[in-house]
Amino acid sequence: METPKRLVSVGDLVLDLVVDARLPVYPSQHQTAKSLQFEAGGACTTILAARNMGLDVTALGTVGDDLQGRLLLDILDDAAVDISALVIPHESRTTTVLALTDTARGEHVFLGHYGEGLPIDLSPAAEALLAESDAVFIPGYTLAEERLSGLVAGVFDWLTANDRRLYFDAGPFSNQLTAAQVDQVLTRCHTLLLTEDEISYIAAGERGLEACRRLCRRYPQLTIVLKQGKAGCQIVSRDLEVACPGFAVAVIDTVGAGDAFAGAYIWADLNGYSPLECGTIANAMGAASVKKAGAGRNVPSGAEVQSLLDDHKTGIQLLC
């Protein structure tokens, strides 16, 4: 059996408190939640999706010296994620998000608080794990968290000196990035994942597919994966444009669907699938994700993704 590809994910380690509530929530209109659970969020969903597809994954960054941090460490360890280089400063706090999800309406709202603690740099142990990797994943949230700035700078310096694929998922907080930060990302980036709303954050205010084309002309090594929800995705590079239709499914909860999509896309790309197949596999992961509540440990398995691919007669057989 071929050795699994190894992915290093940098930062954005979040614990979600997921509450099934009726939205919108108004003052003095109290209610009893249908369910409540602690779950891994943020990049942890991408990590767990990638693990479910068969990648070996290392998590770099920090979690807090608190209950949330201990829960995250247990979740990642149970999934056989390499957490050996995670930093846990004394009396630090884990990034935590209250996720109010209305499964009856398929809607959600996040209330988040960034973790607190000492700044984190790229350690020798983390650098050694990068050297063993096939690719690096950085979510946009990581660049917005100040205590991770030293780690991020170290990773980009390492990428400059070493030939590895970089996957970057822009995310809504990429609107906080400076033009210099965007250029740094796109200069090193192999694949940029983003939604239509996020194009303007990366393309200096420009919007639409033509803005993606211009980015690919400026950064010729770049492939853009444009996530379009239930419509699927489009893959754009300097020499290629591929539309990958989505899968029609009953939506229960969209929390984490884009993060799960990223994990499946990275797995497929690293394992040599065609662009159309990569997009289709990622779409199937996203669709399978919205069919149930929550993300994190609830992220679909490879078998669930395969079942959706089979049901829609794609002809794609997963290697995981």
For 281-290, the pLDDT digits (tens) are 999 999 999 9
Mean pLDDT of 208-225: 96
Instruction: Report strand pairing: 107-113 vs 95-102.
Output: antiparallel
pLDDT band at 105 (very low <50, low <70, confident <90, very high): confident
d(CA 64, CA 169): 24
Mean pLDDT of 110-133: 94
Helix (H) or strand (E) holding 137: strand 135-139
Which pLDDT belongs to residue 30? 93
Which pLDDT belongs to residue 101? 84
Share of the chain above pLDDT 90, in %: 80
Mean pLDDT of 98-109: 84
- 3-state SS class at 87: strand
For 219-246, the pLDDT digits (tens) are 999 999 999 999 999 999 999 999 999 9
Q: Yes or no: say if 139 and 12 are a contact pair by the CB < 8 Å rule.
A: yes
Which pLDDT belongs to residue 294? 66
Q: How high is the mean pLDDT of the chain?
A: 93
**Residue 40 pLDDT exceeds 80:** yes
- 3-state SS class at 174: helix
DSSP state of 3: P
Mean pLDDT of 92-100: 92
Higher pLDDT, 35 or 190: 190
Instruction: Report strand pairing: 6-10 vs 56-60.
Output: parallel
Q: Which domains does the chain have, with CATH numbers?
A: 6-309 (3.40.1190.20)
Tokens encoding 236: 């754009």
Which pLDDT belongs to residue 3? 85
Rounded to 10 degrees, what is the CA torsion of 70, 36, 254, 152? -20
Burial class (CB in 10 A: 0-12, 13-18, 19+), 128: exposed
Mean pLDDT of 132-154: 95
For 183-195, the pLDDT digits (tens) are 999 999 999 999 9
pTM: 0.93
**Residue 99 pLDDT exceeds 90:** no
Least confident window among 42-51, 97-106, 147-156, 209-218: 97-106
Tokens encoding 23: 């939205």
**Residue 158 pLDDT exceeds 60:** yes
